[in-house]
Amino acid sequence: MRALFKTDLKFDWKVVTITIVSTLLLIADYYVSIPKNWIGGVWWKVADRTILYFIIPMLIILVVFRENPRNFGFTLGDWRAGLVLTFGGILLMAPILWLLNRSDTSMQDYYRSSVSGLPWNTFADLFGWEFLFRGWILFGYARKFGPEALWLQAVPFAMAHISKPAVETFSTIFGGFLFGWVAYRSKSFLYPFLIHWFVASFTILVAAGVIG
């Protein structure tokens, strides 16, 4: 009987922690939220995600892992490369997003009511979101799996988009990889965050008809 359960499995406890906690945080984002009457407007969800996706992972890095947050992309990194990739990504994505949002009514229906509070609501919402995927998960996995972490972090990122318009959700496995590559190249989650912030804000403005 003892031989039946004998294995040579060995786990990296930090990778296990990142995997379990990030999965639970994504599930909690769906099922648990700060009551809307505590914080008015759209800000209740922003506060909710800041706690789940930024504060909790950061506390684990500092208190449990006892590491410098720089090891998880919380740094300016290679800022020259980061800024070039950020502005290049924005210039590339702007016409694609405009065409997509003008031609796909599902994008318009989903995002046109989200224009209130721009651009600060998208900034606060996506800061924690990007730190979770392109900071904590990406750099936590990269030390164990190397470049494969780029695809590994893109999977939960894509799954977290389910319930959004199909055309957007299908693209997120590739978008998540590219955001991850920008973070990996620049050694910082900041630059994919800036690109994602632009993408979200621009999408909402086009869907709402503010940008024709």
List, for residues 118-170, the tens digit of each pLDDT value.
888 888 889 999 999 999 999 999 999 999 999 999 999 999 999 889 988 99
Residue 87 lies in a domain: yes
pLDDT given for residue 1 in this prediction: 55
Q: Look at residue 19 in the predicted model and tell me its pLDDT.
A: 97
State both tokens at 151: 């695809």
Number of separate domains in the chain: 1
Closest alpha carbon to 188 in 154, 126, 138, 145: 138
> Is 212 within a domain?
no
Q: What is the mean pLDDT of the chain?
A: 88
Q: Say if 37 falls within a structural domain.
A: yes
* Inside any domain, residue 1: no
For residue 163, give its domain range. 12-207
Predicted local confidence at residue 47, as pLDDT: 73
What is the model's pLDDT at position 43? 55
The neighbouring-strand residues paired with 162 are 164
> Rounded to whole angstroms, how far apart are CA atoms 131 and 54?
6
Kindly tell me if the per-residue pLDDT of 173 is higher than 60: yes
pLDDT at 210: 78
Name the one residue in this structure whose structure tokens are 């008809």. Answer: 209
Q: Would residue 6 count as lying in a domain?
A: no
Distance of alpha carbon 52 from alpha carbon 59, whole angstroms: 11
The Cα 116–Cα 108 span in angstroms is 15
Tell me, yes or no, whether 48 lies in a domain: yes
For residue 188, CA distances in Å to 135, 160, 198 come to: 7, 22, 17
Higher-confidence residue of 3 and 196: namely 196
Residue 35 has pLDDT above 70, yes or no: no
